[in-house]
């Protein structure tokens, strides 16, 4: 795989300024810069900019797809999140969710672990637009992105690449197992992660938004682990248009005038502050259903639930496949019973097809011979059928195309040779 990298920066709240476009254009002669996006594609070399600073100073959203990782940066204005909230979802500085202060707000980053593996080749173009709604959801008080980022971080630290940055070391675990030492007793090993508690579980994990589904699929969060996490997630409750209008009317005249004045001044934070104010008013009226009651689960408990669910799903798939095989076998038996009286006609058809001496005719003969084989099995005449096929093969021993098709169809042993 070549060292492919794709970076895209988006201006969501307002277009890029002339200064921002100049900064992005200066980073690469091949940069594609518009008033709303700046895209960079590399097949060799590396991006020269600092995504943290570029998002803090110029962009609202950044997406990076490289051959070894996925990264997202989003700028959130003051009031959208708090340091205490963000700290609960940070598991590791190298992967998962992390954050830095940016003016009065924050830049929140998600990163996969390095050497993240992808199924097949991916192209970054268009992905930023699919993921950008994650920021809008965060601004609306939806913190599922944070939980999903934390869940990925745990998954990665307990699996591939975990040893690189202080996570459990697979080689060390193997050595510990050989020596009889319990790997989980090491303070820097898996036990510390397994015994840690999950952060607050946001509502709606059982039914993700399109952007969240895209995110989960892209970074490869284990579906059984996600389902286990969702068991403690309350159903998401959205504010409808009628309720929203009522909440606006509940604001005082002074509050409404203040928001309108800030809007007229092009205050970039007014939309976020108004949303937060209306959400708080709605929660005060309906109750804050942000987290299910009860203690938070440990990572060990989540994994146990995920494994149990995976076993149940595997058993369900096994039974479904078994039932499907039985259904097809019953249909095939009915078909064979109906064909059995036509055995002489089928053998005659096989002879006629062979005599054409054409590859297409040999192909057409194979399913007919398969029917004859199954008829023989139904009549318990397998030995007679095998002898007759061998006789046909002996007669056609100078037709390698036909013999190879018999072997490929399992109608003649692979090591068969004409005597």
Q: Are residues 22 and 126 in the same domain?
A: yes
Q: Are residues 336 and 381 in the same domain?
A: yes
- Give the integer Cα–Cα distance in Å for 13 and 60: 7
Which of 396, 409, 321 lies closest to 368 in space, CA to CA? 409
pLDDT at 168: 37
pLDDT at 350: 95
Q: Which residues of the chain have pLDDT under 50?
A: 1, 160-187
Q: Are residues 254 and 342 in the same domain?
A: no
Strand-pairing partners, residue 102, are 105
pLDDT at 6: 93
Count of domains forming the chain: 3
Which of 12, 273, 3, 271 lies closest to 131 in space, CA to CA? 12
Q: Quick check: is 114 in a domain?
A: yes
Q: Are residues 14 and 123 in the same domain?
A: yes
Q: Is 101 helix (H, G, I), strand (E, B) or coil?
A: strand
The model's pLDDT over 149-179, given as tens digits with 9 standing for 90+, comes to 999 999 988 884 333 333 334 443 444 334 3
Query: H or E segment at 66?
Result: strand 61-66
Q: Are residues 276 and 362 in the same domain?
A: no
Q: Quick check: is 380 in a domain?
A: yes
Q: Which of 286, 320, 341 is the last residue of a domain?
A: 286
pLDDT at 177: 38
pLDDT at 180: 40
- Give the integer Cα–Cα distance in Å for 42 and 363: 49
pLDDT at 200: 92
Q: Are residues 15 and 154 in the same domain?
A: yes
For residue 381, the enclosing domain spans 331-408
Q: Are residues 265 and 152 in the same domain?
A: no
Q: Are residues 18 and 128 in the same domain?
A: yes
Q: Which residues contact 78 (CB under 8 A, 6 or more apart)?
A: 103, 104, 105, 269, 272
């Amino acid at each position: 795989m070549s060292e492919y990298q794709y970076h895209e920066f988006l201006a969501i709240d307002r277009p890029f300024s002339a200064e921002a476009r100049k900064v992005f254009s200066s980073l690469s002669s091949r940069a594609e810069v518009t008033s709303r996006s700046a895209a960079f594609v590399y097949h060799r070399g590396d991006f020269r900019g600092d995504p943290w600073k570029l998002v803090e100073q110029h962009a609202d959203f950044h997406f990076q797809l490289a051959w070894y990782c996925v990264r997202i940066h989003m700028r959130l204005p003051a009031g959208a999140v708090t340091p205490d909230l963000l700290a609960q979802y940070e598991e590791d500085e190298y992967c998962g969710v992390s954050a830095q202060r940016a003016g009065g707000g924050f830049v929140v980053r998600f990163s996969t672990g390095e050497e993240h593996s992808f199924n097949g080749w991916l192209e970054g173009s268009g992905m930023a637009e699919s993921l950008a709604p994650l920021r809008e959801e965060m601004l609306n008080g939806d913190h599922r992105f944070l939980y999903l980022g934390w869940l990925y971080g745990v998954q990665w630290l307990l699996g591939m690449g975990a040893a690189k940055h202080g996570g459990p070391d697979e080689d060390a675990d193997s050595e510990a197992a050989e020596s009889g030492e319990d790997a989980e007793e090491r303070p820097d090993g898996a036990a510390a992660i397994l015994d840690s508690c999950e952060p607050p579980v946001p509502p709606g994990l059982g039914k993700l938004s399109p952007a969240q589904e895209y995110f989960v699929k892209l970074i490869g969060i284990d579906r059984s682990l996600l389902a286990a996490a969702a068991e403690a997630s309350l159903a998401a409750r959205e504010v409808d248009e009628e309720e929203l209008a009522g909440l606006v009317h509940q604001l005082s005249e002074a509050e409404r005038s203040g928001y309108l004045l800030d809007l007229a001044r092009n205050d970039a934070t007014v939309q976020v502050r108004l949303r937060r104010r209306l959400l708080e008013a709605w929660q005060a009226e309906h109750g804050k259903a942000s987290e299910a009651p009860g203690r938070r689960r440990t990572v060990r408990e989540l994994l146990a639930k995920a494994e149990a669910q995976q076993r149940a799903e595997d058993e369900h798939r096994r039974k479904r496949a078994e039932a499907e095989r039985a259904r097809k076998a019953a249909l095939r038996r009915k078909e064979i019973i109906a064909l059995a009286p036509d055995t002489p006609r089928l053998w005659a058809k096989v002879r006629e097809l062979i005599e054409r001496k054409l590859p297409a005719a040999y192909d057409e003969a194979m399913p007919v011979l398969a029917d004859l084989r199954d008829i023989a099995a139904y009549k318990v005449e397998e030995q007679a059928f095998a002898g007759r096929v061998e006789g046909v093969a002996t007669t056609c021993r100078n037709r390698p195309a036909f013999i190879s098709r018999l072997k490929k169809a399992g109608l003649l042993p692979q090591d068969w040779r004409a005597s």
